[in-house]
Copies of this chain bind each other. A is one copy, B any other.
Amino acid sequence: MPTPRVTLLDVARRAGVSRTTASFVMAGRTDMRISAEAEHRVLHAARELNYRPNLMARSLRTKLTRTIGLVSDTIASEAFAGELIRGSFSTALLHQHLLFVGETEGDDTVETQLVQDMLDRGVDGFVYASMYTRPARPPAILRGHRFVLLNCVAEDQRLPAVLPDERGAGRAAAGLLLDAGHRDRIFLVGETPDGVYAARERRAGVEEALARAGGALAGTVECLWWPEPAYEAVREFFGDGARASALICLNDRIAFGVYQAAAEAGLTVPDDVSVVSFDDSHLASWLRPALTSVAIPHFELGRTAVELLLADVPAHDVHPVPMPVRERGSVAPPRPARASGHAGADIHSG
């Protein structure tokens, strides 16, 4: 059962050449002259013997393993962490590389140990990822090795990094509403602490787009980014008699809570209120009506990071990845304003 390994020497012998020649042929190197005749014999022998080079032996010499490490603070999350891994893996595979994964749980000691373990196994480079966009400086042990930051904003902007274009996403979300005819009474739902990159940028994007159209946010319903708090906050909002033309929820979980609060207030989405959101989790397509959401391009993020890592020339800047809009059924033109002087004004100001 334990088939004796076919080595390069076996191939060489069968082809009637030296190990050296066989090696050069297998490596496809042209800097050494080898006759078409000999090359063919080697290739043929390799095929016949079903030769597979021993990568460990090769690595010992070359210091290259065609292997990369994905070290992340969190592997699992309710979002599609899997998509990120998938994007990384499939891109690695495309380049004939394999992918180690590892989680640090944010512990620096574990992190250093993990990177060391991967280094011991000769990984050619690292994707240093955070599941949620946050500021982070790569650990010291990474110095001198090739790596790409994923979903982290480093102080040093010249470090290679890949980030979702949250600001663009904010603009896109607002744009969706603007295009549908909304202008006033657009509210943001969800708190936006300065330290949270996604929150800050999404909000900035929204404000930017609104301002560009001569409008502005009508206000913010502050709440944590979870269904329950959002539900509570928006119920109160509606209870106070507030009227909204559209709600921009900072993520889908918030939108979920918003849907419930709206239903309870007797409001129909999207006829009475339009709702747009961020993340495009599965929830978005399960909601009724299905939720229009700006997606986090997990797959693309992974893909881009690995692409950058494996590129011939190392990157030295941050690469924003566009966040695609998934239009569904939660946006409609605003209800025509009821007998009020504002309607006319709105039309003229457009």
Q: Which residues of A contact B (CB under 8 A)?
A: 1-3, 52-57, 59-60, 65, 67, 75-78, 80-83, 85-86, 89-90, 93, 98-103, 114, 116-122, 144, 226-228, 231, 253, 256, 260, 282-283, 286, 288
Contacts and interface: CB of A to CB of B under 8 A. Distances in A.
A330 B288 CA distance: 21
A90 to B, nearest CB: 7
A7 to B, nearest CB: 12
Nearest to A57: B60
Q: How many copies does the complex hold?
A: 2
Given A1-B144, A81-B82, A102-B89, A56 B59 contact: yes
Best-surrounded residue of A53, A57, A76, A228 (most CB of chain B within 10 A): A76
Nearest to A1: B144
A98 B102 contact: yes
A256 B286 CA distance: 8
Contacts of A260: 288
Contact of A65 (B53, B56, B102, B144): B56
Contact of A121 (B65, B81, B82): B65
Contact of A98 (B60, B82, B121, B288): B121
A30 B246 CA distance: 74
B101 A85 contact: yes
A76 B86 contact: yes
Contacts of A76: 80, 82-83, 85-86
Given A56-B122, A118-B98, A122-B56, A82 B77 contact: yes
A5 to B, nearest CB: 9
A54 to B, nearest CB: 7
Nearest to A263: B263
Contacts of A3: 144
A55 B56 CA distance: 9
A60 B54 contact: yes
Contacts of A117: 93, 98
A6 to B, nearest CB: 12
Nearest to A144: B1
A77 B260 CA distance: 26
A82 B89 contact: no
